Amino acid sequence: MSYYKHHVFFCLNQRSNGEAACAQHDAQAGFDHCKQRVKAEGLAGPGGVRVNKAGCLDRCAGGPVAVVYPEGTWYTFVDQQDIDEIVDQHLKNGQVVERLLLAPDVGR
């Protein structure tokens, strides 16, 4: 058994050279909201969910992005409602949110 049931990484990378980056799409707000929701739902901690900041995950063209492990499920999101759906469906109920999946061919 893993220490966490789910580990969520949010790319918060910023680039100063003008290249696409998740920070340009308010990834920090998505991270903050997810962390707050996970805590409020009582999902945080060992045996539950850990939400972490990450640097570049090399999928900038689909930004902002987050990945849920151990499944390796890649999501893109637009607003807090998208984050709520990931928390409610995936993190609480184990169901992938199909409409928010990042296409497998999206890279940098």
Nearest to 27 by CA among 104, 101, 79: 79
DSSP the chain: --SSSEEEEEE----SSS---GGGGTHHHHHHHHHHHHHHTT-BSTTSEEEEEES--S-GGG-SEEEEETTTEEEE--SHHHHHHIIIIIITT----GGGBPPTT---
φ and ψ of 62, to 5 deg:
-105, 10
Residue 60, CA atoms < 13 Å, CB-side half-sphere: 14
* CATH code of the region 6-100: 3.40.30.10
Low-confidence ranges of the chain (pLDDT < 70): 1
pLDDT for residue 108: 76
Model confidence pLDDT, tens digit, residues 56-77: 999 988 889 999 999 999 999 9
Lookup result for tokens 């696409």 = 20
pLDDT for residue 15: 86
Domain ranges, ordered by start, for the chain: 6-100
Q: Dihedral of CA 26/32/33/35: which sign?
A: positive
pTM, two decimals, is 0.93
